Amino acid sequence: EDKIVLRLSSPMSETDQRAIALTEQFGPGVSSFATFEPHWNATLFKQNTELEAIARGNLEMSVTSAQELAQFFPEWSIFTAGYVLQDADHQVAVFNDAVMDPFKQKVEEELGVKLLAPMYLGRRHVNLRQSRDEVDVRTPADLAGINLRMPGTDAWQFLGKALGANPTPMAFTEVYTALQTGAVDGQDNPLPTVVDAKFYEVTKQIALTSHLVDWNFIALSKAVWEDLSPEQQQAVQSAADAAAKAEREAQLKKEADLRGFLEQKGLAIYEPDLDSFRSHVQKAYLESDFANDWPAGVLERINELGH
């Protein structure tokens, strides 16, 4: 009989840890009844249009982000806020806790998208072209006047402002040249991105602000899910969990390993006064419109699940 085809579209490249884990763990995990057909580099659907493609029945799978979900459901901005999630384990705990259920349910009902498992993207840090002699980042005040490239959505821009910097939206493909020429002073991404996008060639320091422990979700069409037998559903869920776990471990290891690599490339890597950043950013969020969209009690529950 014909197998189901599970097409996944995502902007990540096939060498990304998430792509590797999905190819090596998810694909084989469902191969008895489904063909996993990934399309990397956004070749099938453009970045941030995959959810509506799934909703319209044009795609089966994607790797979505809290930022993308917040474009549909503003309350998701709580998972894009700085210093809310603490680490990879905290992400898993939050995802599996009942506090996530209403969030997931709404996505299933209104978009027809089922979120299977959380993937770990890494800790985002501030990566600057200036040397530490020129800019030494201890507190948010030290980022005053720094043009920090951040993705062009208001959630990202707000986070940049909350960090004390001047957030600058710019296409990712232009960031390298802009760092080289000084059109921007810095960018924020996890260490693996700093390496993959070669930003270390044109920057001199990384302040380990860990301002966002970023995550993604393996997303599957609800309609496809409901057509599966209970055993098949079980297999899909296990395969997604296995991929997420493998990815998390690989990404954590990569993050740890890359610190040495980047230091060897001559970058100064150091930890600023995290308490000062945390309180500054959290205060900014609580005073903002974003917090109005957050359901009562969710932030408290997330904090309880941390340490």
Partner 1 sequence: MNRAIRWIRTLAEVVSASMLAAMFLTFLLQIFSRYVLQEPFGWTLELCLALWIWIVFFGCAFIVRDREHVSFDILYLAAPARLRKVMALISAAVVAIALLWSLLPTWDWIDFLRIKKSATLKVPMRTLYSIYALFLIVVAARAIWSFIHTLRHGAPDHELELLSEDKS
Partner 2 sequence: MSLPFALCLLTLFLLSAIGTPIAYAILVGALIYLGVAGQDIALAGEQILAGLFESFVLLAVPLFIVAANIMNAGTISERLLSFCVAAVGRFRGGLGHVNVVSSLIFSGMSGSAVADAAGIGKIIVQMMTRSGHYTPGYAAAITAASATIGPIIPPSIPMVLYALVSNTSIGYLFLGGILPGLLMGVVLMAMNTWISARRGFALEEPVPLRELPRKTANAFPALLMPAILLYGIYGGVTTPTEAAAVAAAYALILASLFYRAMSLRALYTILVESARSSAAVGLVIGGALILNYIVASENIPNLVAQQLVGLDVSPLVFLLGVNLLILLLGCVLDASTIILVIIPLFIPSCRELGIDLVHFGVVAVVNCMIGLITPPYGILLFVLNAVTRIPLAEIIREIWGFLAVLIFALLILIFFPGVTLWLPRLFGYGG
Q: Site residues for partner 1, window 127-186 (CB under 8 A)?
A: 145, 147, 152-155, 157, 166-171, 183-184
202 binds partner 2 (CB under 8 A): yes
Q: Which does 166 bind (CB under 5 to 8 A by kind): partner 1, partner 2, none?
A: partner 1
- Closest listed residue to residue 150, CA positions, set 181, 189, 122, 192: 189
197 binds partner 2 (CB under 8 A): yes
Q: Which does 71 bind (CB under 5 to 8 A by kind): partner 2, partner 1, none?
A: partner 1
**Binding residue for partner 1, selected from 101, 110, 226, 263, defined by CB under 8 A:** 110
Q: Which does 277 bind (CB under 5 to 8 A by kind): partner 2, partner 1, none?
A: none
At closest approach, how far in Å is the CB of 157 from partner 1?
A: 4
At closest approach, how far in Å is the CB of 140 from partner 1?
A: 16
181 binds partner 2 (CB under 8 A): yes
Q: Which is nearer to partner 1, 33 or 72 (CB)?
A: 72
Q: Which does 55 bind (CB under 5 to 8 A by kind): partner 2, partner 1, none?
A: partner 1
Residues in contact with partner 1, counted by CB under 8 A, come to a total of 23
31 binds partner 2 (CB under 8 A): no
Which residue is listed with tokens 């390298």? 176
**Binding residue for partner 2, selected from 6, 34, 51, 53, defined by CB under 8 A:** 53
271 binds partner 1 (CB under 8 A): no
Tokens of 69: 């979900």
Binding site for partner 1 (CB under 8 A): 48, 52, 55-56, 67, 71-72, 110, 145, 147, 152-155, 157, 166-171, 183-184
